[in-house]
Amino acid sequence: MTRSAVWHPFTQHALEPPMKRIASTKGAYLIDEHGDRFLDAISSWWVITHGHRHPAIMKAIRAATEAYDQIILAEFSHEPAETLARGLIEIAPAGLSHVFYSDSGSTSVEVALKMALGYFHNKGEPRDRIVVMEASYHGDTIGTMSTGERGVFNAAYESLLFGVDRLPFPAAGREEQTLDAFEAFCRSGRVAALIVEPLVLGAGGMKIYDARVLAGLKEIATRHACLFIADEVMTGWGRTGTMFACEQANISPDILCTSKGLTGGSLPLAATLCTSEIFNAHLSTDRRKTFFHSSSYTANPIACAAAVANLEVWRSEPAFERIGTLEALHRQHLERLRGDARFTHVRQAGTIAALDLIAPAAGYLAEAGPRLRRLFRERGLLIRPLGNVIYLMPPYCVTSDELARAYDAIDEVASIVLGKA
């Protein structure tokens, strides 16, 4: 086989074997060039919601290619972008009224940060601090790395990152510490915005916290007139059991970031939703108050058409029934692992299930991670642990038998890694 020129993400090529080449996808499966099937138990990095190649979404993409390729959104608009914007406002938490498009989760967060800082700049208010939660992950661009947890992911780029104020993670029993810390930061009068992953911190280790904390943070932000940014890139589109995680705290953010499941996972697209107040702070006859942000493929019509079709899937199919079934199945399987001496912190938020393997070392670089991943792959499963943290986040079309196979593999593989098989 010819040596690949592809540099893969989050991959140490000196330690990894050549990548298998996927020839097709269908439902909950990836199928390689030899016909071997892999159950996609992490939705290909959390993007596939209804299943790979959902027929309605694929049909919409094919139809869109007959009319569109790329259209510059700085000069024109188009029907898919307009229809999608209206649809997003309809399903989003109340109060969000404008949609700014980009092309990835990272860029949707970059847009949100610039919106927040631009809002106060245009109002003539000297607010320039961003508050974040420890163990957060918001992306791999410079601004998003700045707001994420510092460590091995971004140590080489530390000189480029801007400073932020960090809240302790609201672990059970320590929620008040998080709220008190945010209150203290806000008293400075310099906080422009708080950005959080609602309910679940994804790449930081699938850490889950109570919706009451989310509501408390929003109350403090409102009282101190700073903006609340909800990074729903991972948590949106039903992952936590509701369309957006914010709904479980009964709050509406000032800015909401979405991507991943926006197109059902079919094409890259992102959107940053904001209130009229934020939009109006940039609306002026003074051109210096323009929101200066774009990407070449902003609101690509084909991607927008895929997202419009995805909205229709949510309207016409029993997606939330499938989510409810998946939640119940997770609970059943997790129950048999609670109290198991090999695991700790067995947890669930909607369709997301996670548990920590009690291995000699923890953290993203724990040696257990690559070995677990390899053993899962040998068993026809795409499960990609975060170090010693094993999690499942399958597409909603996964069957009871398929999910059971994933849990059986976790049971088996954990014993092998711990030398108890």
Structure confidence at residue 421 (pLDDT): 64
193 and 214 inside one domain:
yes
209 and 222 inside one domain:
yes
252 and 359 inside one domain:
no
Per-residue pLDDT of 323-359, as tens digits, reads 999 999 999 999 999 999 999 999 999 999 999 999 8
111 and 192 inside one domain:
yes
353 and 238 inside one domain:
no
- Which band of pLDDT confidence, cut at 50, 70 and 90, is reported for residue 365? confident
% the chain with pLDDT above 70: 100
Per-residue pLDDT of 195-226, as tens digits, reads 999 999 999 999 999 999 999 999 999 999 99
142 and 226 inside one domain:
yes
Q: Where among 316, 344, 378 does a domain terminate?
A: 316
174 and 216 inside one domain:
yes
Q: Where among 266, 301, 316 does a domain terminate?
A: 316
Per-residue pLDDT of 394-404, as tens digits, reads 999 999 999 99
Q: What is the pTM of this model?
A: 0.97
As a whole number, mean pLDDT of residues 34-61 equals: 98
- Which band of pLDDT confidence, cut at 50, 70 and 90, is reported for residue 2? confident
Domain that residue 89 falls in = 57-316
Q: Considering its fold, how many domains does the chain have in total? A: 2
What CA–CA distance (Å, rounded) separates 237 from 364? Answer: 26
Per-residue pLDDT of 179-190, as tens digits, reads 999 999 999 999
Q: Alpha helix locations (H) across 317-399?
A: 319-335, 368-378
What CATH number does residue 329 fall under?
A: 3.90.1150.10
% the chain with pLDDT above 90: 95
180 and 305 inside one domain:
yes
Q: Alpha helix locations (H) across 42-169?
A: 43-46, 55-65, 79-91, 105-123, 142-147
The answer to whether residue 71 sits within a structural domain is: yes
As a whole number, mean pLDDT of residues 234-243 equals: 98
265 and 183 inside one domain:
yes
Left if phi > 0, otherwise alpha if psi is -120 to 50, otherwise beta: which for 326? alpha
Per-residue pLDDT of 119-176, as tens digits, reads 999 999 999 999 999 999 999 999 999 999 999 889 999 999 999 999 999 999 999 9
Structure confidence at residue 1 (pLDDT): 61
Rg (CA), the chain: 21
146 and 266 inside one domain:
yes
Which of 2-16, 204-218, 293-307 has the lowest average pLDDT?
Answer: 2-16
Contact indicator for 233, 257 with CB cutoff of 8 Å:
yes
Structure confidence at residue 414 (pLDDT): 96
- Which band of pLDDT confidence, cut at 50, 70 and 90, is reported for residue 75? very high
Q: Where among 269, 294, 316 does a domain terminate?
A: 316
